[in-house]
Protein backbone atom coordinates (compact mmCIF):
# COMPACT_ATOMS: atom_id res chain seq x y z
CA UNK A 1 0.00 0.00 0.00
CA UNK A 2 1.49 3.36 -1.06
CA UNK A 3 1.30 5.91 1.80
CA UNK A 4 0.57 9.36 0.37
CA UNK A 5 0.68 12.90 1.75
CA UNK A 6 -0.86 16.03 0.27
CA UNK A 7 1.31 19.10 0.90
CA UNK A 8 -0.65 22.36 0.74
CA UNK A 9 -4.34 22.28 1.62
CA UNK A 10 -5.65 25.01 -0.66
CA UNK A 11 -7.81 25.06 -3.78
CA UNK A 12 -6.25 22.17 -5.74
CA UNK A 13 -5.67 19.87 -2.75
CA UNK A 14 -9.25 18.57 -2.85
CA UNK A 15 -8.78 17.45 -6.46
CA UNK A 16 -5.77 15.37 -5.36
CA UNK A 17 -7.69 13.99 -2.37
CA UNK A 18 -10.61 12.92 -4.58
CA UNK A 19 -8.20 11.28 -7.03
CA UNK A 20 -6.30 9.30 -4.36
CA UNK A 21 -9.45 7.93 -2.74
CA UNK A 22 -10.48 6.32 -6.02
CA UNK A 23 -7.67 3.80 -5.63
CA UNK A 24 -8.04 2.28 -2.16
CA UNK A 25 -6.32 -0.90 -3.38
CA UNK A 26 -3.20 1.07 -4.37
CA UNK A 27 -2.81 3.89 -1.86
CA UNK A 28 -3.92 5.56 1.31
CA UNK A 29 -3.67 9.28 2.16
CA UNK A 30 -1.96 9.34 5.57
CA UNK A 31 -1.22 13.06 5.91
CA UNK A 32 -2.33 16.49 4.74
CA UNK A 33 -0.05 19.45 5.53
CA UNK A 34 -0.50 23.17 5.62
CA UNK A 35 1.05 26.06 7.48
CA UNK A 36 -2.57 26.70 8.47
CA UNK A 37 -3.08 23.30 10.03
CA UNK A 38 -6.85 23.87 10.24
CA UNK A 39 -6.98 23.95 6.43
CA UNK A 40 -5.34 20.51 6.37
CA UNK A 41 -7.92 19.29 8.87
CA UNK A 42 -10.75 20.70 6.69
CA UNK A 43 -9.50 18.75 3.65
CA UNK A 44 -9.34 15.56 5.73
CA UNK A 45 -12.90 16.00 6.93
CA UNK A 46 -14.41 17.23 3.66
CA UNK A 47 -12.95 14.36 1.64
CA UNK A 48 -13.32 11.68 4.32
CA UNK A 49 -9.60 10.88 4.43
CA UNK A 50 -10.13 8.62 7.38
CA UNK A 51 -6.54 7.37 7.63
CA UNK A 52 -5.03 10.87 7.45
CA UNK A 53 -3.69 13.24 10.10
CA UNK A 54 -3.11 16.98 9.73
CA UNK A 55 0.45 18.32 9.96
CA UNK A 56 2.03 21.75 9.74
CA UNK A 57 5.17 20.76 7.83
CA UNK A 58 5.99 18.25 5.12
CA UNK A 59 9.06 16.96 6.96
CA UNK A 60 7.04 16.17 10.09
CA UNK A 61 4.44 14.27 8.06
CA UNK A 62 6.97 12.26 6.04
CA UNK A 63 8.78 11.16 9.19
CA UNK A 64 5.73 10.48 11.35
CA UNK A 65 3.80 8.54 8.71
CA UNK A 66 6.68 6.95 6.78
CA UNK A 67 5.29 8.50 3.58
CA UNK A 68 6.09 6.99 0.14
CA UNK A 69 4.54 9.64 -2.13
CA UNK A 70 3.90 13.35 -1.71
CA UNK A 71 1.62 15.55 -3.81
CA UNK A 72 3.03 19.07 -3.79
CA UNK A 73 0.06 21.46 -4.00
CA UNK A 74 1.97 24.53 -2.83
CA UNK A 75 2.42 27.97 -4.40
CA UNK A 76 4.83 27.74 -7.36
CA UNK A 77 7.80 29.35 -5.59
CA UNK A 78 7.72 26.50 -3.04
CA UNK A 79 7.70 23.65 -5.60
CA UNK A 80 11.41 23.15 -6.23
CA UNK A 81 12.83 23.16 -2.69
CA UNK A 82 10.03 20.99 -1.29
CA UNK A 83 10.30 18.54 -4.19
CA UNK A 84 14.04 18.14 -3.73
CA UNK A 85 13.60 17.77 0.04
CA UNK A 86 10.87 15.12 -0.34
CA UNK A 87 12.90 13.15 -2.92
CA UNK A 88 15.90 13.23 -0.60
CA UNK A 89 13.72 11.99 2.25
CA UNK A 90 12.95 8.93 0.09
CA UNK A 91 9.55 9.88 -1.35
CA UNK A 92 8.21 9.83 -4.88
CA UNK A 93 6.82 13.26 -5.82
CA UNK A 94 3.87 14.52 -7.81
CA UNK A 95 4.10 18.29 -8.21
CA UNK A 96 1.44 20.65 -9.46
CA UNK A 97 1.91 22.85 -12.48
CA UNK A 98 3.83 25.03 -13.18
CA UNK A 99 6.70 22.66 -12.41
CA UNK A 100 8.91 25.44 -10.98
CA UNK A 101 9.89 29.08 -11.32
CA UNK A 102 12.95 28.54 -13.52
CA UNK A 103 14.89 26.04 -15.60
CA UNK A 104 17.58 25.94 -12.92
CA UNK A 105 14.92 24.82 -10.43
CA UNK A 106 13.55 22.23 -12.89
CA UNK A 107 17.04 20.84 -13.41
CA UNK A 108 17.62 20.60 -9.66
CA UNK A 109 14.37 18.65 -9.30
CA UNK A 110 15.21 16.30 -12.19
CA UNK A 111 18.73 15.74 -10.82
CA UNK A 112 17.32 14.92 -7.36
CA UNK A 113 14.91 12.40 -8.89
CA UNK A 114 17.71 10.74 -10.85
CA UNK A 115 20.07 10.76 -7.86
CA UNK A 116 17.52 9.19 -5.50
CA UNK A 117 15.91 6.87 -8.05
CA UNK A 118 12.47 8.17 -7.01
CA UNK A 119 9.75 9.15 -9.46
CA UNK A 120 9.05 12.82 -10.18
CA UNK A 121 5.82 13.53 -12.02
CA UNK A 122 4.51 16.95 -13.05
CA UNK A 123 0.76 17.49 -13.20
CA UNK A 124 -0.30 17.67 -16.85
CA UNK A 125 -3.84 16.43 -16.27
CA UNK A 126 -5.08 17.55 -19.68
CA UNK A 127 -2.88 15.03 -21.48
CA UNK A 128 -5.06 12.43 -19.78
CA UNK A 129 -8.26 13.37 -21.59
CA UNK A 130 -9.90 11.60 -24.52
CA UNK A 131 -9.84 14.48 -27.07
CA UNK A 132 -6.18 15.20 -26.31
CA UNK A 133 -5.21 11.54 -26.59
CA UNK A 134 -7.07 11.24 -29.90
CA UNK A 135 -5.52 14.34 -31.49
CA UNK A 136 -2.09 13.36 -30.14
CA UNK A 137 -2.37 9.91 -31.71
CA UNK A 138 -3.65 11.28 -35.03
CA UNK A 139 -0.71 13.71 -35.21
CA UNK A 140 1.80 11.00 -34.26
CA UNK A 141 0.29 8.75 -36.97
CA UNK A 142 0.60 11.56 -39.54
CA UNK A 143 -3.14 11.69 -40.28
CA UNK A 144 -3.73 14.46 -42.84
CA UNK A 145 0.00 14.79 -43.56
CA UNK A 146 2.35 17.51 -42.38
CA UNK A 147 1.15 20.18 -39.91
CA UNK A 148 0.98 23.45 -41.86
CA UNK A 149 -0.30 25.79 -39.14
CA UNK A 150 -1.29 25.51 -35.48
CA UNK A 151 -3.42 27.89 -33.44
CA UNK A 152 -3.84 27.76 -29.69
CA UNK A 153 -6.36 29.98 -27.99
CA UNK A 154 -5.75 29.64 -24.28
CA UNK A 155 -8.30 32.16 -23.10
CA UNK A 156 -9.43 32.38 -19.49
CA UNK A 157 -11.05 34.91 -17.20
CA UNK A 158 -10.10 35.92 -13.67
CA UNK A 159 -11.43 38.87 -11.65
CA UNK A 160 -9.14 41.59 -10.31
CA UNK A 161 -9.44 40.11 -6.79
CA UNK A 162 -7.83 36.84 -8.03
CA UNK A 163 -4.50 38.59 -7.41
CA UNK A 164 -5.33 39.53 -3.82
CA UNK A 165 -4.02 36.13 -2.62
CA UNK A 166 -0.55 36.71 -1.13
CA UNK A 167 1.48 34.55 -3.52
CA UNK A 168 -0.18 35.66 -6.73
CA UNK A 169 0.83 38.64 -8.82
CA UNK A 170 4.58 38.95 -8.23
CA UNK A 171 7.55 37.58 -10.13
CA UNK A 172 9.11 36.48 -6.84
CA UNK A 173 6.23 34.29 -5.69
CA UNK A 174 4.25 33.30 -8.83
CA UNK A 175 6.91 34.01 -11.45
CA UNK A 176 4.54 34.47 -14.36
CA UNK A 177 1.03 35.58 -15.24
CA UNK A 178 -1.37 34.02 -17.70
CA UNK A 179 1.33 32.26 -19.76
CA UNK A 180 2.67 30.49 -16.65
CA UNK A 181 -0.36 29.91 -14.48
CA UNK A 182 -3.04 29.27 -17.10
CA UNK A 183 -1.67 28.69 -20.59
CA UNK A 184 0.95 26.29 -19.24
CA UNK A 185 -1.81 23.69 -19.75
CA UNK A 186 -2.09 24.38 -23.48
CA UNK A 187 1.64 24.96 -23.89
CA UNK A 188 2.29 21.54 -22.39
CA UNK A 189 -0.25 19.99 -24.78
CA UNK A 190 1.16 21.81 -27.82
CA UNK A 191 4.73 20.69 -27.08
CA UNK A 192 3.53 17.13 -26.48
CA UNK A 193 1.71 17.17 -29.82
CA UNK A 194 4.19 18.89 -32.15
CA UNK A 195 7.41 19.33 -30.16
CA UNK A 196 9.66 22.27 -29.33
CA UNK A 197 10.00 25.09 -31.89
CA UNK A 198 13.33 26.51 -33.08
CA UNK A 199 12.47 30.04 -31.94
CA UNK A 200 9.81 32.24 -30.37
CA UNK A 201 8.65 35.83 -30.82
CA UNK A 202 6.26 37.12 -28.18
CA UNK A 203 4.55 40.17 -26.73
CA UNK A 204 2.56 40.67 -23.55
CA UNK A 205 0.77 43.27 -21.40
CA UNK A 206 -1.37 43.64 -18.34
CA UNK A 207 -4.66 45.20 -19.44
CA UNK A 208 -6.93 44.65 -16.46
CA UNK A 209 -5.32 43.34 -13.26
CA UNK A 210 -3.95 46.31 -11.37
CA UNK A 211 -2.75 44.37 -8.32
CA UNK A 212 -0.24 42.33 -10.32
CA UNK A 213 3.25 42.79 -11.72
CA UNK A 214 2.53 40.04 -14.27
CA UNK A 215 1.02 39.71 -17.76
CA UNK A 216 -2.67 39.03 -18.26
CA UNK A 217 -2.67 38.94 -22.07
CA UNK A 218 -0.02 37.89 -24.56
CA UNK A 219 0.75 36.37 -27.92
CA UNK A 220 3.57 34.08 -28.92
CA UNK A 221 4.58 32.95 -32.38
CA UNK A 222 6.53 29.71 -32.46
CA UNK A 223 8.65 29.00 -35.52
CA UNK A 224 9.18 25.38 -36.61
CA UNK A 225 11.21 24.27 -39.65
CA UNK A 226 8.08 23.99 -41.79
CA UNK A 227 5.36 25.85 -39.94
CA UNK A 228 4.29 28.40 -37.34
CA UNK A 229 2.16 27.96 -34.26
CA UNK A 230 0.62 30.86 -32.44
CA UNK A 231 -0.53 30.95 -28.88
CA UNK A 232 -2.90 33.53 -27.49
CA UNK A 233 -3.02 33.76 -23.71
CA UNK A 234 -5.42 35.83 -21.64
CA UNK A 235 -7.27 36.00 -18.37
CA UNK A 236 -9.57 38.80 -19.54
CA UNK A 237 -11.66 36.72 -21.97
CA UNK A 238 -15.31 36.30 -20.98
CA UNK A 239 -16.52 32.85 -21.97
CA UNK A 240 -13.01 31.38 -21.68
CA UNK A 241 -12.97 30.00 -25.23
CA UNK A 242 -10.19 27.45 -25.45
CA UNK A 243 -9.18 25.65 -28.59
CA UNK A 244 -6.24 24.00 -30.29
CA UNK A 245 -6.32 23.79 -34.07
CA UNK A 246 -3.83 21.78 -36.12
CA UNK A 247 -4.10 22.38 -39.85
CA UNK A 248 -2.58 19.57 -41.83
CA UNK A 249 -2.05 19.32 -45.58
CA UNK A 250 -5.40 17.57 -45.99
CA UNK A 251 -7.64 18.62 -43.13
CA UNK A 252 -8.17 20.24 -39.77
CA UNK A 253 -7.68 18.37 -36.48
CA UNK A 254 -8.90 20.29 -33.46
CA UNK A 255 -9.90 20.39 -29.82
CA UNK A 256 -12.89 20.83 -29.48
CA UNK A 257 -13.30 18.34 -32.34
CA UNK A 258 -14.61 19.91 -35.55
CA UNK A 259 -13.07 18.24 -38.60
CA UNK A 260 -12.82 20.24 -41.83
CA UNK A 261 -11.40 19.64 -45.27
CA UNK A 262 -11.71 21.07 -48.76
CA UNK A 263 -10.64 20.56 -52.33
CA UNK A 264 -9.97 23.51 -54.63
CA UNK A 265 -12.52 24.74 -57.13
CA UNK A 266 -11.07 25.69 -60.55
CA UNK A 267 -10.43 29.20 -59.19
CA UNK A 268 -8.74 27.95 -56.01
CA UNK A 269 -11.65 28.68 -53.69
CA UNK A 270 -12.63 25.85 -51.29
CA UNK A 271 -15.21 23.14 -51.92
CA UNK A 272 -16.03 21.27 -48.70
CA UNK A 273 -14.60 17.72 -48.84
CA UNK A 274 -17.28 15.82 -46.93
CA UNK A 275 -15.76 12.42 -47.73
CA UNK A 276 -12.42 13.30 -46.15
CA UNK A 277 -14.14 14.98 -43.19
CA UNK A 278 -16.00 11.70 -42.62
CA UNK A 279 -12.74 9.78 -42.85
CA UNK A 280 -11.19 12.06 -40.22
CA UNK A 281 -14.26 11.70 -38.03
CA UNK A 282 -14.13 7.90 -38.28
CA UNK A 283 -10.42 7.84 -37.34
CA UNK A 284 -11.06 10.21 -34.42
CA UNK A 285 -13.88 8.07 -33.02
CA UNK A 286 -11.99 4.81 -33.59
CA UNK A 287 -9.48 5.85 -30.89
CA UNK A 288 -10.97 4.56 -27.65
CA UNK A 289 -12.29 6.84 -24.94
CA UNK A 290 -10.31 6.89 -21.72
CA UNK A 291 -11.97 5.20 -18.77
CA UNK A 292 -10.42 7.71 -16.39
CA UNK A 293 -9.49 11.32 -17.14
CA UNK A 294 -7.62 14.24 -15.60
CA UNK A 295 -5.92 14.09 -12.20
CA UNK A 296 -7.26 10.61 -11.33
CA UNK A 297 -5.83 9.17 -14.57
CA UNK A 298 -2.44 10.78 -14.04
CA UNK A 299 -2.32 9.73 -10.39
CA UNK A 300 -3.24 6.14 -11.30
CA UNK A 301 -0.37 6.07 -13.80
CA UNK A 302 2.03 7.33 -11.12
CA UNK A 303 0.82 4.78 -8.55
CA UNK A 304 1.27 1.97 -11.07
CA UNK A 305 4.68 3.33 -12.08
CA UNK A 306 5.74 3.27 -8.42
CA UNK A 307 4.69 -0.39 -8.33
CA UNK A 308 6.70 -1.01 -11.52
CA UNK A 309 3.59 -1.95 -13.49
CA UNK A 310 3.49 0.96 -15.99
CA UNK A 311 6.02 3.44 -17.38
CA UNK A 312 5.64 6.94 -15.92
CA UNK A 313 4.01 9.09 -18.62
CA UNK A 314 4.76 12.61 -17.36
CA UNK A 315 8.13 12.88 -15.66
CA UNK A 316 10.30 15.88 -14.80
CA UNK A 317 11.80 16.11 -18.27
CA UNK A 318 8.32 16.30 -19.81
CA UNK A 319 7.23 18.99 -17.31
CA UNK A 320 10.39 21.04 -17.92
CA UNK A 321 9.54 21.57 -21.61
CA UNK A 322 6.67 23.99 -20.91
CA UNK A 323 8.86 26.00 -18.52
CA UNK A 324 11.58 26.28 -21.16
CA UNK A 325 9.15 27.58 -23.76
CA UNK A 326 7.61 30.03 -21.29
CA UNK A 327 11.08 31.36 -20.37
CA UNK A 328 11.77 31.90 -24.09
CA UNK A 329 8.42 33.72 -24.38
CA UNK A 330 9.33 35.97 -21.43
CA UNK A 331 12.78 36.64 -22.81
CA UNK A 332 11.34 37.55 -26.20
CA UNK A 333 8.72 39.90 -24.82
CA UNK A 334 11.07 41.54 -22.27
CA UNK A 335 13.89 42.10 -24.80
CA UNK A 336 11.57 42.59 -27.79
CA UNK A 337 13.51 40.14 -29.91
CA UNK A 338 13.13 36.69 -31.42
CA UNK A 339 14.63 34.07 -29.10
CA UNK A 340 16.24 30.83 -30.23
CA UNK A 341 15.79 27.62 -28.22
CA UNK A 342 17.17 25.93 -26.18
CA UNK A 343 17.76 28.32 -23.26
CA UNK A 344 21.25 27.46 -22.01
CA UNK A 345 22.62 27.56 -18.44
CA UNK A 346 24.56 30.76 -19.21
CA UNK A 347 21.37 32.59 -20.21
CA UNK A 348 19.90 35.16 -17.78
CA UNK A 349 16.54 33.48 -18.34
CA UNK A 350 17.81 30.13 -16.99
CA UNK A 351 17.84 31.36 -13.37
CA UNK A 352 14.98 33.02 -11.54
CA UNK A 353 17.05 35.78 -9.89
CA UNK A 354 18.55 37.04 -13.16
CA UNK A 355 15.35 36.46 -15.14
CA UNK A 356 13.08 38.51 -12.90
CA UNK A 357 15.46 41.46 -13.01
CA UNK A 358 14.72 41.70 -16.74
CA UNK A 359 10.93 41.44 -16.49
CA UNK A 360 8.61 44.46 -16.54
CA UNK A 361 6.38 45.20 -13.54
CA UNK A 362 3.10 46.06 -15.26
CA UNK A 363 1.67 47.20 -11.91
CA UNK A 364 2.84 46.91 -8.30
CA UNK A 365 1.04 44.53 -5.96
CA UNK A 366 -0.38 46.64 -3.14
CA UNK A 367 -3.11 44.38 -1.71
CA UNK A 368 -2.46 40.98 -0.16
CA UNK A 369 -4.62 38.57 1.83
CA UNK A 370 -3.52 35.30 3.47
CA UNK A 371 -6.50 33.18 2.41
CA UNK A 372 -9.74 33.44 0.44
CA UNK A 373 -12.94 32.46 2.19
CA UNK A 374 -13.73 29.95 -0.59
CA UNK A 375 -11.53 27.33 -2.23
CA UNK A 376 -13.93 26.65 -5.11
CA UNK A 377 -12.17 26.73 -8.51
CA UNK A 378 -12.83 25.82 -12.15
CA UNK A 379 -10.29 23.97 -14.27
CA UNK A 380 -10.83 25.43 -17.74
CA UNK A 381 -13.93 25.42 -19.87
CA UNK A 382 -13.46 23.80 -23.25
CA UNK A 383 -10.05 22.35 -22.68
CA UNK A 384 -11.31 18.76 -22.48
CA UNK A 385 -14.26 18.72 -24.91
N1 LIG B 1 -3.71 21.50 -12.36
C2 LIG B 1 -4.58 22.50 -12.26
O3 LIG B 1 -5.51 22.62 -13.05
C4 LIG B 1 -4.40 23.49 -11.14
C5 LIG B 1 -5.48 24.29 -10.72
C6 LIG B 1 -5.28 25.17 -9.65
C7 LIG B 1 -4.04 25.31 -9.05
N8 LIG B 1 -3.00 24.54 -9.53
C9 LIG B 1 -1.65 24.68 -8.94
O10 LIG B 1 -1.63 24.14 -7.64
C11 LIG B 1 -0.71 24.86 -6.82
C12 LIG B 1 -1.46 25.38 -5.58
O13 LIG B 1 -2.50 26.24 -6.03
P14 LIG B 1 -3.80 26.50 -5.13
O15 LIG B 1 -4.74 27.25 -6.01
O16 LIG B 1 -4.25 25.24 -4.49
O17 LIG B 1 -3.17 27.50 -4.04
P18 LIG B 1 -3.71 27.84 -2.59
O19 LIG B 1 -3.07 29.10 -2.17
O20 LIG B 1 -5.19 27.73 -2.57
O21 LIG B 1 -3.11 26.62 -1.73
C22 LIG B 1 -1.76 26.51 -1.38
C23 LIG B 1 -1.70 26.11 0.09
O24 LIG B 1 -0.33 25.89 0.46
C25 LIG B 1 -0.16 26.37 1.79
N26 LIG B 1 1.27 26.57 2.01
C27 LIG B 1 2.05 27.55 1.50
N28 LIG B 1 3.34 27.33 1.82
C29 LIG B 1 3.37 26.19 2.54
C30 LIG B 1 4.42 25.41 3.13
N31 LIG B 1 5.68 25.78 3.02
N32 LIG B 1 4.08 24.27 3.77
C33 LIG B 1 2.79 23.87 3.88
N34 LIG B 1 1.76 24.56 3.33
C35 LIG B 1 2.05 25.70 2.68
C36 LIG B 1 -1.01 27.60 1.87
O37 LIG B 1 -1.35 27.94 3.20
C38 LIG B 1 -2.23 27.18 1.05
O39 LIG B 1 -3.26 26.62 1.85
C40 LIG B 1 -0.15 25.99 -7.70
O41 LIG B 1 1.07 25.59 -8.24
C42 LIG B 1 -1.19 26.12 -8.79
O43 LIG B 1 -0.67 26.61 -10.01
C44 LIG B 1 -3.17 23.64 -10.52
Residue 372: the pLDDT is 83
Ligand 1 nearest-atom number relative to CA 372: 20
Taking the C-alpha atoms of residue 175 and residue 237, their distance in angstroms, rounded to an integer, is 22
Residue 376: the pLDDT is 75
| pLDDT band, residue 370 (cuts 50/70/90) | confident
Closest CA to ligand 1's atom 26: 8
- Candidates 259, 254, 161; CA nearest to 212 is 161
Cα 11 to averaged position of ligand 1 atoms, centre (Å): 6
- Candidates 249, 217, 223; CA nearest to 325 is 223
Residue 373: the pLDDT is 80
Residue 323: the pLDDT is 98
Residue 9: the pLDDT is 97
Among the residues of 260-351, which ranges form H helices? 274-286, 294-306, 316-335
Flag whether the pTM goes above 0.75. Answer: yes
According to DSSP, the β-strands at 69-72 and 2-7 are: parallel
Residue 383: the pLDDT is 57
Give the model confidence (pLDDT) of 87-130 as tens digits: 999 999 999 999 999 999 999 999 999 999 999 999 999 999 99
Check pLDDT > 90 for residue 246. Answer: yes
Taking the C-alpha atoms of residue 193 and residue 138, their distance in angstroms, rounded to an integer, is 10
Ligand 1 nearest-atom number relative to CA 76: 41
- For a mutational test of ligand 1's pocket, the pick from 19, 31, 34, i.e. the residue with the most ligand atoms closer than 8 A to its C-beta, is 34
Ligand 1 first shell, C-beta below 6 A: 7-12, 33-36, 39, 73-76, 78, 96-97, 123, 125, 165, 181, 375, 377, 379
Burial class (CB in 10 A: 0-12, 13-18, 19+), 236: middle
Ligand 1 nearest-atom number relative to CA 181: 43
Burial letters 130-155, b for 16+ CB under 10 A, else e: bbbbbbbebbeeebbeebeebbbbbb
Cis amide leading into 12 (omega within 30): no
Cα 252 to averaged position of ligand 1 atoms, centre (Å): 37
Residue 381: the pLDDT is 58
Closest CA to ligand 1's atom 4: 12
| pLDDT band, residue 174 (cuts 50/70/90) | very high
Q: With pLDDT > 70 as the criterion, what percentage of the chain qualifies? A: 98
- Candidates 319, 345, 330, 351; CA nearest to 109 is 319
Q: Report, in angstroms and rounded to the nearest whole number, the Rg of the chain calculated over CA atoms.
A: 21
Closest CA to ligand 1's atom 15: 11
The residue count for the chain: 385
Q: How many helices (H) and strands (E) in the chain?
A: 12, 15
Give the model confidence (pLDDT) of 256-275 as tens digits: 999 999 999 999 999 999 99
| pLDDT band, residue 385 (cuts 50/70/90) | low
Give the model confidence (pLDDT) of 322-343 as tens digits: 999 999 999 999 999 999 999 9
Amino acid sequence: MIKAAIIGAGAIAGVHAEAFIRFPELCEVRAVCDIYVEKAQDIIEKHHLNQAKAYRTMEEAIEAEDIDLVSICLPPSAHADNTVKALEMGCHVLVEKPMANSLEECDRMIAASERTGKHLSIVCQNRFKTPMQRIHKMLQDGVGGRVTHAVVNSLWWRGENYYDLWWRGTWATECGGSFTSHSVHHIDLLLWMIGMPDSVTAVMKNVGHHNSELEDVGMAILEYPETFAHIGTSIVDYGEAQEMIFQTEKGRLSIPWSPASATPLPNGFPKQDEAYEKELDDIYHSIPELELEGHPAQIKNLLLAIQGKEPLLTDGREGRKAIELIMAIYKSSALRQTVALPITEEDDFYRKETMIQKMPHFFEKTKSIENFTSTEITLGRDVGK
